[in-house]
Amino acid sequence: MQIHKYRAKSVSAAIAMVKNELGSDAMILSSKKLNGQGSGHLFEIAAVASNANTLDQTSDSYDGVRSELVSIKEMIYILNHSEGMMEKMILKPATLTLYAKMLRNGITDYYARIFLEQGGALNDYSPECFKAVREETIRIIMKRVEIHNFPETINGGRNITALVGTTGVGKTTTIAKIAAQMSLKYKKKVGLISIDSYRIGAMEQLKTYANILGIPFFPAFNRKNLVAALERLKDMDAVLIDTAGQSQYDGKRIEELKNMMTDDLNIQSHLLLSVATTEEEMNKTAEKFSSLKFGSYIFTKLDEAEKCGSIINQLMKTQLPISYLTTGQNVPEDIEEATKNRILKLLFSKN
> Residue 296, interface with ligand GTP (CB under 6 A)?
no
Which one of residues 93, 119, 170, 219 is an interface residue with ligand GTP (CB under 6 A)? Answer: 170
User: What is the C-alpha to C-alpha distance for residues 103 and 97, in angstroms, rounded to an integer?
Assistant: 10
- CB under 6 A: which stretch of 44-52, 162-170, 220-228, 337-345 binds ligand GTP? 162-170
Q: Which of residues 87-126 bind ligand GTP (CB under 6 A)?
A: none
Instruction: Name residue 151's amino acid.
Output: P
Nearer to ligand GTP, 33 or 199 (CB): 199
Cα angle, residue 115 at apex, residues 111 and 120 outer, rounded to 5°: 145
Query: Which H/E stretch holds residue 257?
Result: helix 251-260
- CB under 5 A: which stretch of 66-74, 166-174, 210-218, 316-324 binds Mg ion? 166-174
Cα angle, residue 153 at apex, residues 147 and 154 outer, rounded to 5°: 150
- Minimal distance, residue 88 CB to ligand GTP, in Å: 39
- Minimal distance, residue 335 CB to ligand GTP, in Å: 8
> Residue 293, interface with ligand GTP (CB under 6 A)?
no
Any residues with CB less than 8 A from the CB of 143 and at least 6 apart, and which? none
Q: Are 174 and 324 in contact (CB under 8 A)?
A: yes
Which one of residues 82, 172, 274, 326 is an interface residue with Mg ion (CB under 5 A)? Answer: 172
User: What is the C-alpha to C-alpha distance for residues 8 and 101, in angstroms, rounded to an integer?
Assistant: 26
- Minimal distance, residue 243 CB to ligand GTP, in Å: 8
Nearer to ligand GTP, 10 or 197 (CB): 197
Which among 54, 40, 131 has a CA at the least distance from the CA of 29?
Answer: 54
- Minimal distance, residue 246 CB to ligand GTP, in Å: 8
The site for Mg ion, by CB under 5 A, has a size of 2
Decide: residue 285, CB within 10 A, 0-12 exposed, 13-18 middle, 19+ buried.
buried
Which one of residues 196, 233, 236, 269 is an interface residue with ligand GTP (CB under 6 A)? Answer: 196
Q: Which of residues 228-257 bind ligand GTP (CB under 6 A)?
A: 245
In the DSSP assignment, the letter for residue 185 is I
Nearer to ligand GTP, 159 or 274 (CB): 274
Nearer to ligand GTP, 93 or 170 (CB): 170
The site for ligand GTP, by CB under 6 A, has a size of 21
> Residue 137, interface with ligand GTP (CB under 6 A)?
no
Instruction: Name residue 24's amino acid.
Output: S
> Residue 194, interface with Mg ion (CB under 5 A)?
no
Beta-carbon count within 10 A of 189 CB: 16
State how far the alpha carbon of 214 is from the alpha carbons of 56, 192, 206, 241, in Å. Answer: 59, 11, 12, 17
Nearer to ligand GTP, 99 or 289 (CB): 289
The residues that bridge with 297 in the sheet, in sequence order, are: 271, 322
- What is the radius of gyration, based on Cα positions, of the chain? 26
Nearer to Mg ion, 47 or 176 (CB): 176
> Residue 199, interface with ligand GTP (CB under 6 A)?
yes
> Residue 334, interface with ligand GTP (CB under 6 A)?
yes
Cα angle, residue 343 at apex, residues 338 and 349 outer, rounded to 5°: 140
Residues that bind ligand GTP (CB under 6 A): 165, 167-173, 196, 199, 202, 245, 300-301, 303-304, 326-329, 334
